[in-house]
Amino acid sequence: MKTNKKKIINDPVFGFISIQSEFIYDLIEHPFLQRLRRIKQLGLSSIVFPGVNHTRFEHAIGAVHLMGLAISSLKMKDVDISDEEAEAVTAAILLHDIGHGPFSHALEHSLVEGISHETISLLMMEELNRQFDGQLAMAICIFKDEYPKKFLHQLVASQLDMDRLDYLRRDSFFSGVTEGTVGSDRIIKMLNVRNDGLVVEYKGIYSIEKFLISRRLMYWQVYLHKAVLSAEHMLVKVLRRAKELVMSGVDVFATPALHVFLQHEITMDCFAKQTFAEQQSLLELFVELDDSDLILAMKQWRHHDDNILSYLAGAVINRKLFRVKIQNSPFSTKAISELETEVMNRWGIAEDELHYFLIRDSITNYAYIQGSDKINILMKNGDVKEINDASDVNLSSLLQTVSKYFVCYPKELDIK
């Protein structure tokens, strides 16, 4: 009996989403995609915004929906997109975030050394292409920006792609931060193609201005919220301490897959090995990891004999977050030195362990970067102008990269 693979998904953000392609449905049903149900879209942001429990899976489905709308809109304007290309670009957006590890961006460079989630996404897409007998070849070309029609790649990865249009609206919806709401429908209806590049018809310029402002506000209010920064940097420190202990021979609880990543310094070369542990490739082990591995581990680490690991794991699990001081300019050497002395004296730790209790870093926020990847506006006279030149609003503040600097330390220290 043949299974009906044309499905309807009820999404809280966009309503009913129709999956018309049997191949896309098969990809959705694959364990690589189903794993995304167990990875939160916004890492530990729910520690501040209780409603932010949506997953990478929901985001992928939402991006597929928007891609379908974009393809339909462009076809109505006589943009040449074949059925094969439409399915390939839809597969590319479905799989664009498949390489995320536990808690998404929070642990991007903690489990693996200097390997982005995009790189791992590509490794997983290539493995899927092998399993599906080459059906993802065109999707991979589009994802890598090697396909002749460059505008298809822009729909997947650019400063105005279906990824951003979904996550801004979805994250705004679940966080309750209404400033992040974007007019995705209006923007998509205004999309067109000129000289093999995506453009937005002039009638949609105000929606683009709102999109850029919303993106900037979402970063300050949600993605870079100071309590989220504290929680996610503490999570990185928890993992670093566990890895330090495991690599020095100390017994630390972990699921089998997580233990491999704690036991080794994982680089890109490691993924090239055919087997890594118990006849499994490293990619297969990575796919076994999700948020639950870390949550289960931290629940156990709270009771570990190592005071640093137990304290940090318990603090993350029970939301006992470090206090955050944040400012527009770098902290002076004197101020940092005083904080270091205070932490060591009052917490009784050695200098080489100081970084676990005094976290220093910087954050940057930008809404739009001028350069080769532009948001172009199709003017009424047929000219194409970059958004900054086409807008009658001064967007200079949105073009600037704003940096801020912060330190985190245990609240128990009560440092003034």
Structural domains of the chain in order of their starting residue, each with its CATH number:
7-224+367-400 (1.10.3210.10), 226-363+406-413 (1.20.1250.30)
End-to-end C-alpha distance for the chain, whole angstroms: 71
CA distances from 383 to 186, 195, 202, 212 (A): 21, 11, 10, 22
Q: Whole-model pTM? A: 0.93
7 Cα distance to chain centroid: 27
Helix (H, G, I), strand (E, B) or coil at 257: helix
Is residue 15 left, alpha or beta, with left meaning phi > 0 and alpha meaning psi from -120 to 50?
left
The helix (run of H) or strand (run of E) holding residue 270 is: helix 268-271
From first to last of its 416 residues, the chain has per-residue pLDDT tens of 456 678 899 999 999 999 989 999 999 999 999 999 999 999 999 999 999 999 999 999 999 999 999 999 999 999 999 999 999 999 999 999 999 999 988 777 788 888 888 999 999 999 999 999 999 999 999 999 999 999 999 999 999 999 999 999 999 999 999 988 999 999 999 999 999 999 999 999 999 999 999 999 999 999 999 999 999 999 999 999 999 999 999 999 999 999 999 998 888 888 877 666 666 788 999 999 999 999 999 999 999 999 999 999 999 999 999 999 999 999 999 989 988 888 888 878 888 999 999 999 999 888 888 777 889 999 999 999 999 889 887 777 777 888 999 999 998 776 55
Alpha helices in 77-136 (DSSP H): 83-94, 117-131
- DSSP line for 285-340: HHHT--HHHHHHHHHHHTT-S-HHHHHHHHHHHTT-PPEEEEESSPPPHHHHHHHH
Q: Given the structure tokens 């705004």, which residue do they identify?
A: 172
Determine contact, residues 136/147, Cβ cutoff 8 Å: no
The Cα 115–Cα 101 span in angstroms is 11
